[in-house]
Amino acid sequence: MTPFEPLSGLAGGILIGLSVVLLLLTLGRIAGISGISAGALTQRGSEQYWRLAFLAGMILAAIFYSNFMGGFKVETQLGSGWMIIAGLLVGFGTRLGCGCTSGHGVAGLSRLSPRSIVATLTFMAAAAATTNIIRHL
């Protein structure tokens, strides 16, 4: 069980929104984490470097938070085998669908992209169905 925390959720969401706006203002890019992660592997030169810098920023924030701001919990369910299957599905699916919760769910919905609206409804529905089947059937 996790407590419902709307205020910290809203605060974190605002930071994520600021990140999206800042990256678009400076580099002209959409902050989609699946695209940034994949591009960090497949691109070369400056196309690779800015993506690595973004990922380094994310990891530095997490290191700072866990050392100086009380840390954060990572509680997983199911075993390692399921985590590998889930990882493969998330990696393959986000690239085939050209985005994830950030690129489609935040940036895409914010600019009312029809593709992002369809993608977000699809992955939300698939995720809710999967979780409910695993937990209750």
Partner 1 sequence: MKVLIASLFSGLLFGFGLVVSGMSNPARVLNFLDFSANWDATLAFVMGGAILVAAPGIYWVRKRSKPLFANKFDIPTSKTIDSKLVLGSACFGIGWGISGFCPGPAVVAVVSLQSDVLLFIGAMLVGMLAQYFLTPKSS
- Binding residues for partner 1 restricted to 69-98, rule: CB under 8 A: 72-80, 82-98
Give me the residue label for tokens 């199911």: 78
Instruction: Output the smallest distance, CB 110 to partner 1, in A.
Output: 4
Say whether residue 136 binds partner 1 (CB under 8 A). Answer: yes
Kindly tell me which residue out of 44, 45, 68, 111 binds partner 1, with binding defined by CB under 8 A.
Answer: 111
The torsion of the CA quartet 107, 8, 72, 24, rounded to 10 degrees, works out to: 20
| Rounded-to-integer distance, Cα 39 and Cα 52, Å | 9
Instruction: Output the smallest distance, CB 48 to partner 1, in A.
Output: 11
- From 13, 23, 91, select the one nearest 53 (Cα to Cα): 23
Interface pattern 113-132 for partner 1 (x via CB under 8 A): xxx--xxx-xxxxxxxxxxx
Nearest CB to partner 1, comparing residues 10 and 44 = 10
Count residues binding partner 1 (CB under 8 A).
109
Is the Cβ–Cβ distance between 72 and 66 less than 8 Å?
A: yes
| Rounded-to-integer distance, Cα 51 and Cα 44, Å | 10
Kindly tell me which residue out of 13, 48, 68, 137 binds partner 1, with binding defined by CB under 8 A.
Answer: 13
| Rounded-to-integer distance, Cα 114 and Cα 85, Å | 29
Interface pattern 30-69 for partner 1 (x via CB under 8 A): xx-xx--xx--xx---x--xxx-xxxxxxxxxxx-xx---
